[in-house]
Structure formats: structure tokens, C-alpha cells
Copies of this chain bind each other. A is one copy, B any other.
Amino acid sequence: MLGGDCILCRKIGSLPQAASPDCIFEFPQSVLFLGPWQYYRGYCVLVARWHATELSQLAPQDRHAHLEEMCLAARAIEDAFRPKKMNYELLGNQVPHLHWHLVPRYADDPDFKHPIWVAIDRAKDDKSALRRLEQGSSDRAETARILRNQLAALMARRS
């Protein structure tokens, strides 16, 4: 089900992958996009293909498949960039369409102990700090390329 007023439904509706340089992988139930805050290199957002606001709205087999895709996506980020920790967050307070923030956390992050939203909130009035969090130190296209290759390899091992 696609809802016309939902920006994530529109994002999903505007695929195929070739149209979006941020699209990393198209799973059956969800689509993985490179996320905005690349200080956390490899940060991705996994967006459900259908419009639902809560996991409890899904049929058990759909929920299982969706969560398996979440785990596969996170595994690819881990394998690619070897973070110290992975953070998984399903929020949706601003955009209530199921999507997971999959955030690799690194040991050299001075705010490592806190969820990323604390650093982002503190930086909100400081454009250069925000830009640093957004851009990180790696090329976005190269990060996307590495993740696509990692996911392709991971999926090939499973099939």
C-alpha cells in the first residue's frame, strides 16, 4: 500500500535503484538507503516497501521477513566498516512509515556513549558542526559502493 502524503512512500515509489544514488539494496520487503549522517560511516535507513506505522500492524510472516532484512542490512554495514557497535532504531515520530536507522558507531567518536541524536541536537545551531556530522570524512558514493558490494556478497552466500 502506498500513501500519497507519505514521503517514504514517495521515495519507495520513485525507485528503481538507478534513479537514486543513495539506494543501496532492494530487498523483497524493504529498501536500504544510505543515510544522511555519514560521520557515522555507513549509516543507512531501511524503509519498508508498504505503508505501516507499527511493527504490530504486520502479519507475523511479513514482520519476520522485515526484521530479517534489517539484520542482513546491519550485518553488511558491520562487515564493511567494522564499527565498535551497531545501533538499531525504529522511531518514526516525524515520518510514521516503518524505517530503521542502522547506525555504525566508532571508537573515535567523542560522543560514542550516547545515541547519535544527542550530538545532532547539540550541533543544530552550528552549521559547520552539522556539516561535519552530515559529510563525515569519506566519499558518499564510495561508501555506497562498498555497501552494495558487501550486500551482494552476503546475499550470494545465502542463496
Chain B residues whose CB sits within 8 angstroms of the CB of A155 once the complex forms? none
C-alpha spacing A92/B89, complex, angstroms = 12
* Closest partner residue, chain B, to A103 (CB atom): B91
Total copies of this chain within the assembly: 2
- Choice from B87, B92, B122 contacting A91 with Cβ under 8 Å: B87
Chain B residues whose CB sits within 8 angstroms of the CB of A71 once the complex forms? 55-56, 63
Q: Which of A19-27, A112-120, A125-133, A145-153 contacts B (4 or more CB under 8 A)?
A: A112-120
Interface majority SS on A: helix, strand, loop or mixed?
A: mixed
The interface size of chain A toward B, counting residues with CB under 8 Å, comes to 32
A63 to chain B, nearest CB (A): 6
Contact of A67 with B by CB under 8 A: yes
State whether B78 touches A93 (Cβ < 8 A).
no
State whether A90 touches B91 (Cβ < 8 A).
no
State whether A85 touches B93 (Cβ < 8 A).
yes
- Choice from B54, B63, B64, B118 contacting A86 with Cβ under 8 Å: B54
Cβ contacts A to B, 24 pairs, < 8 Å: A54-B85, A55-B74, A56-B71, A56-B74, A56-B75, A63-B71, A64-B68, A85-B96, A87-B91, A87-B92, A87-B93, A88-B89, A88-B90, A89-B90, A89-B91, A93-B112, A93-B113, A93-B114, A93-B115, A94-B113, A114-B121, A115-B115, A115-B117, A118-B118
If A85-B96, A87-B91 are given as contacts, then 14 extra A-B residue pairs at C-beta distance below 8 Å, sorted by A number, are: A56-B86, A64-B64, A64-B68, A86-B90, A87-B92, A87-B93, A89-B91, A89-B115, A93-B114, A114-B121, A115-B115, A115-B117, A118-B121, A121-B121
